[in-house]
Every structure is written in C-alpha cells, then in structure tokens.
Amino acid sequence: MKSLIETLTQIPGPPGYENKIRAVVRAEIESHADEIRVDALGNLIARKGSKAGNGKRIMLSAHMDEIGVIATHIDENGFVRFTNVGGVFPRYAPSGRVRFLDGTIGVIGTEKITNSYKVPPLDKMFIDVGANGRTNCPIKVGDVAVFERPLTEMGGRLVSKAMDDRISVAILIEALKKLKKTPHEIYFVFSVQEEVGVRGATTAAFGVDPELGLAIDVTRTGDTPKSITMEVALGAGPAIKVKDSGMITDPRVVDWMVRIAAKAKIPYQLEVLERGGTDARAIQLTRSGVPAGCLSIPCRYVHSPSEMVDYNDVQNALKLLLALLNDTGVFQMS
C-alpha cells in the first residue's frame, strides 16, 4: 500500500485539474468495480455490489484534489504573483517549492519583511521560476501549481504533500479491491474540488442519492507541543467524527461505527474538529437529507507541504471501513 500512497501523493491535482490523478485511480480500480463513470464535474464514481436483505445504498467519498496556487500576474522581471486555490496557509509558503502543471518548478519568495516575527500575506509573496523577464517567463496568468515535496518515511510515519486527501483515496482503492461480498450497493466516489467548497461531492451525492454516506478524510491532531486542544493523536487509531464546522454526524452513524470498531477490536478515537469540514457535509445535505458520517485519518501539519500520518492508523482505517461495509446489521432508520 505504501507504493500506492507514494504514487498518489506525487501526482499534481489542484481543484479543477484532477484529470491526472483521476486517470491513475481509474486504472487501479476498473477491473474491480461493477460499473465506473465520470460525471460532468469530474468525479470518478465506481459502483460495487447490489442491495440484499437489509442492505443500503452507501456513498463513500474521498477527494482527489489538493491545495494549490494560481498565477494572477507576471511582472516585468518575470516574477509570478499568485493567490490560493484552497486553504493555503501563508506561514507554510515562504521558501517552499511549487510545481506548475506543465512541470515548471518555482520557489516562493516574499517582499521585504520589516517584522520578522509576522508572516506576510500571500499578496506580499511571489514565485520565482528562474525567468529574467516577462517575455521569457514560462508561466501565464491562470496557470496553477501545487507544492513540490516527495514522500518520506519516518519510522512508522509517512510524510508528504497531498496526504490530504490522497491517503483516503488510497484507502478507498484498497477497500474496493479487497471487498469481495457485501449486502450493500456501494458507490466509491473519488471527488473533485473539495478544497474549494465540497463541490464535487455535492453533485455526486445528488446523482447517487445514497441512503447512507461516509466521507474518508484527514483530521487535525492535538498531540504536538502546545498544540490545539483536541483528543486526536497519531498512532491511536482512525477517528470517528462526531462534529466539525460543517456538519454534525448522525448519532446513529457514530454508534454504528463505534460498535463495529469495538466488535472488530480496531482502535479508534472520537473526533470533534472545531475548524474544517469534509465531503460528509455535502452528502448529508443532498436532496431530502442523508444520514452521514466521516472516517478520519489523524494527520499532523494539515494543509502544509509536509503532512504526516501514521501507517498503523491508515491500516486500521482500512480494516474499519471493510468491517463497516461487511456489516449486515447496519442501523435501521427509525
């Protein structure tokens, strides 16, 4: 699974430009799905299984896109001004490297800093692509880029750009491959444009019209020095979301996920995320409403070029997802 994670994290795919990552995902899953389609927004949707007995139509969603930047202006000296596409934090940007979709590498620089203790905003930064003028700058207005950072293994931890949310894409791929028999009709959705407002999951959920929905995404941790106060830590198991700023998980979904995790003896954590959201919000609000939840992978340094996950958490998230999908006694609607 590690080689798959490395492949997925290194493919550039900012919001709206997920075609390269979608092609790789499709090649991985097409021989394992009963049906595959791509909708008008670019979501890759794979169906597996048919409803039997108490089975339900379940939508799983992991987003393919990653945070990025877009060129807004090229000055006379060839420096590229830019803005964010998704949640790019200014504190992580200076001196970082980016790769444009045409392969051009750039280094993020800043204007003169008068207060070295204050991080400048993005509009006080620029990208240096090695050009010495506007005419020989290979970048034009509207070109997009993502952070350039290879995957590194540190003990049991994996560090890379785009763990959000390629780690969950990898989990969905493996779950689809390993799932042999299920009483449910399951739609594996590899969604687009999550980082700019869960846009892909919004259209995908309307099309799938699920009876139950689960997002698979990363979540923040509270286990680093003087960190946020949050009871999620790397290595303590996948997290079962109770609430984030975009949705409140249906309590029946939380209870179901906790029950199955306990039954399968899979370590888990309960998550309350005060800032941030996932595709679960879009699923929950589609049509007349859907019971929805989220299986979260703890991740340090979210929305940075060096996002860190614990490989045991990843493996246990896969085990829990498979146990949930094989459950014949999914909670009954009251």
Single out the catalytic residue among 18, 174, 194, 195. 194
Tokens of 166: 């390629």
Give the helix, strand, coil percentages of the chain, each rounded to 5. Answer: 25, 25, 45
Burial (CB count <10 Å: 0-12, 13-18, 19+), residue 298: buried
* Burial state string for 94-130 with b = 16 or more CB within 10 A and e = fewer than 16: eebebbbbeebebebebeeeeeeeebbebeebbbebe
Q: How far is CA 15 from the centre of its chain?
A: 11
Tokens of 264: 């399968």
CB 176 within 8 A of CB 48: yes
Rounded Cα–Cα distance for residues 158 and 307 (Å): 8
Bridge partners for 46 per DSSP = 36, 188
- Whether residue 194 lies in the annotated active site: yes
Tokens of 306: 């060096």
Catalytic sites, residue numbers: 194
